[in-house]
């Protein structure tokens, strides 16, 4: 996605997401025939829905109005999201928000259509539950857009720091210089570079040094430990949290937020 496509508004029209990439693990889980059958049944019923016809007998889209509660919820979201769009950091993100606003209504319509063919929702209007679901999805994609756009705008130095932090998080939040020189390609054979990178994180308040005493005796082993997840990432969504929407901080290997709290001491 070059500047040309940003300027043309192409990217703003796309829903983008970048979920965390965890290490793969073997599983014997499979999609059950029953689940597949129910999904197939929904698709067949959606495809079987009939259009309306105009005065000339031509097929036209079927209009679904909003229920009173859905309309009130939409207006509240519209006004609230307008403020977020106006405060967006940059024209590119503001353009994306303007499209995501409309996606909220489109998601609500999809939700209602699926509910209508499965018998869990009315077929003649978009109700409050569908509108709530559509708005929830739109907010999630807005959070994703804001997080990903900020990553695109970061400097090379900032990107190196972020990827280093995410790498440390996937290893439990604490690493040694040797871990870096044997694990991250850019530090292989560069012990001083690895040590300096960790020192910079300490200087930035993103972590501290730990001296771990060996049970076998000898000099303590020095390891770097991240201070906190929220202080160690460049995103706004806490690790393992869905409170703010989005896919979190891009980490794929650390457990709960409470575990991270213990690292801070």
Residue 154 is predicted with a pLDDT of: 65
In 3D, which of 185, 188, 234, 229 has the Cα closest to residue 207? 229
C-alpha 210/C-alpha 175 separation (Å) is: 10
Backbone angles phi, psi at 84, to 5 degrees: -60, -40
The pLDDT tens digits for 89-107 are 888 899 999 999 999 999 9
Do 248 and 239 form a contact (C-beta atoms < 8 A)?
Answer: yes
Q: What is the pLDDT of residue 75?
A: 97
**Predicted pLDDT of residue 233:** 41
Residue 215's pLDDT is 64
pLDDT of 170 reads 87
Mean pLDDT of the chain: 82
- d(C-alpha 238, C-alpha 252), whole Å: 13
CA torsion angle 189 152 89 86 (round to 10): -150
pLDDT at 109: 96
Per-residue pLDDT of the chain (265 residues; tens, 9 = 90+): 777 777 788 888 999 998 877 788 899 999 999 999 999 999 999 999 999 999 999 999 999 999 999 999 999 999 999 999 999 988 889 999 999 999 999 999 999 999 999 999 988 899 999 999 999 999 999 999 998 888 776 666 777 888 899 889 988 899 999 898 988 888 888 888 899 999 999 998 899 998 876 666 666 678 899 987 443 343 333 333 334 455 644 333 333 332 323 323 2
Alpha carbons 243 and 255: distance in angstroms, whole number? 16
Pick the CATH number of 156-263 from 3.30.230.20, 3.40.50.670, 1.10.3720.10, 1.10.10.10: 1.10.10.10
Q: What's residue 252's pLDDT? A: 33
Q: Give the residue extent of every domain in the chain.
A: 36-46+60-153, 156-263
pTM of the model: 0.61
3-state helix, strand, coil in the chain (%, to 5): 55, 10, 35
| 112, 133 Cβ separation under 8 angstroms | no
The position carrying tokens 């559509």 is 134
Interatomic CA distance for residues 166 and 182, integer angstroms: 16
């Amino acid at each position: 996605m070059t500047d040309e496509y940003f300027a043309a508004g192409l990217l703003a029209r796309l829903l983008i997401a970048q979920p965390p990439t965890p290490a793969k693990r073997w599983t014997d889980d499979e999609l059950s025939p029953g689940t597949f059958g129910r999904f197939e049944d929904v698709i067949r019923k959606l495809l079987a829905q009939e259009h309306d016809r105009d005065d000339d007998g031509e097929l036209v889209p079927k209009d679904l109005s909003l229920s009173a509660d859905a309309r009130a919820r939409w207006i509240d979201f519209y006004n609230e999201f307008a403020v977020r769009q106006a405060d967006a950091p940059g024209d590119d993100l503001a353009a994306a928000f303007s499209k995501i606003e409309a996606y909220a209504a489109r998601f609500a319509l999809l939700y209602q259509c699926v509910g209508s063919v499965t018998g869990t929702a009315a077929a003649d209007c978009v109700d409050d539950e569908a509108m709530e679901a559509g708005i929830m999805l739109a907010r999630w994609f807005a959070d994703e857009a804001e997080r990903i756009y900020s990553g695109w705008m970061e400097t090379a130095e900032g990107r190196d720091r972020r990827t280093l932090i995410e790498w440390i998080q996937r290893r439990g939040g604490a690493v040694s210089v040797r871990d870096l020189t044997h694990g991250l390609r850019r530090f292989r054979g560069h012990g001083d570079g690895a040590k300096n990178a960790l020192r910079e994180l300490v200087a930035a308040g993103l972590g501290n040094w730990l001296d771990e005493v060996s049970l076998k005796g000898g000099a303590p082993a020095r390891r770097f430990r991240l201070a906190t997840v929220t202080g160690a990432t460049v995103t706004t969504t806490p690790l393992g949290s869905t409170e703010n929407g989005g896919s979190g901080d891009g980490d794929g290997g650390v457990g709960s937020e409470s575990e991270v709290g213990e690292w801070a001491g």
